[in-house]
Amino acid sequence: MDFLQFVPMSCIASSTTDFYWKMCVRALVAPAALFVLWLWPLSCIARGKPYERAVAVAAKLSLTGLEVITPSVATNVMQTFACSEFDDGWFLRAELTIPCDGSARRQKWVAIASMFIAIYPIGVPLLLFGTMYRRRGEINRLQQALKQNDSEQTEVISAKRLAAKASIKERRPSIVAAVNHSLLWVVRKFERFNPGQWPFAAFLLLLRVMQTSVLVLIPTQNLQVPRFMLPLVR
């Protein structure tokens, strides 16, 4: 997903482009990809054709793509604030030829990086939380059905396999409808959690972002990942 790690920046930018411009290009790739992705449902709406499936597919791919690239983009953006002190002043650790001074150019890029922080490390987890919060009733019912099935069958199965069971189709058609329609594109974010603990899907994304991006600001990165989240998984 983060193709800029493998594509030389000289292919898409001038060889004289510094870290600030590269950071900006990396952060703008996702919005550009989302714009192209949503052209399909928007065209369906404009032509008066059924658009529900197109919206569901675009939303699923958008949320998955944002979840995948957010940690790496956030880490790159946070490097804007990581400076080291030398004999002749403070310089950016990502590119030591860039001074961390009070110049107008530096302040402009700090403001741009702050905007990207609001979009990626903060905005994407909030988007995931808000999306699931709107469907929290359906999510809780589905989580309870999954937990009940695990207790009865002693087998952990996915929501998709649960909805395919004949007994569920007969007794709980709302579960089938939720998995196949309204929750199709977000179900994998919470199906492994215990009932009522779906918000931890957004929290885990935020934790993953912090474990990568925030560490950029710490000179000595001798930290261990806490394991207190394990009891939350069913």
The Cα–Cα gap between 4 and 1 comes to 9
73 shares its domain with 160: no
58 shares its domain with 103: yes
Cβ-based burial of 231 (10 A; exposed 0-12, middle 13-18, buried ≥19): exposed
pLDDT at 196: 85
23 shares its domain with 36: yes
Question: Does the pLDDT at position 43 exceed 80?
Answer: yes
Domain count, the chain: 2
| Average pLDDT of the chain, as a whole number | 79
Lowest mean pLDDT among 49-58, 67-76, 163-172, 218-227: 218-227
66 shares its domain with 177: no
Residue type, 208: R
The Cα–Cα gap between 53 and 181 comes to 8
Q: To 10 degrees, the CA torsion angle through 128, 133, 138, 143? A: 70
pTM: 0.74
The Cα–Cα gap between 216 and 95 comes to 14
- Domain span including residue 81: 3-134+197-219+226-232
Least Cα distance to 94 among 109, 104, 108 occurs for 109
Percent of the chain clearing pLDDT 90 (strictly above): 31
pLDDT at 38: 92
Percent of the chain clearing pLDDT 70 (strictly above): 74
41 shares its domain with 98: yes
Average pLDDT over residues 212-232: 60
pLDDT at 221: 47
pLDDT at 195: 82
35 shares its domain with 79: yes
103 shares its domain with 211: yes
Give the pLDDT confidence of 135-153 residue by residue, as tens digits: 888 888 888 877 777 666 6
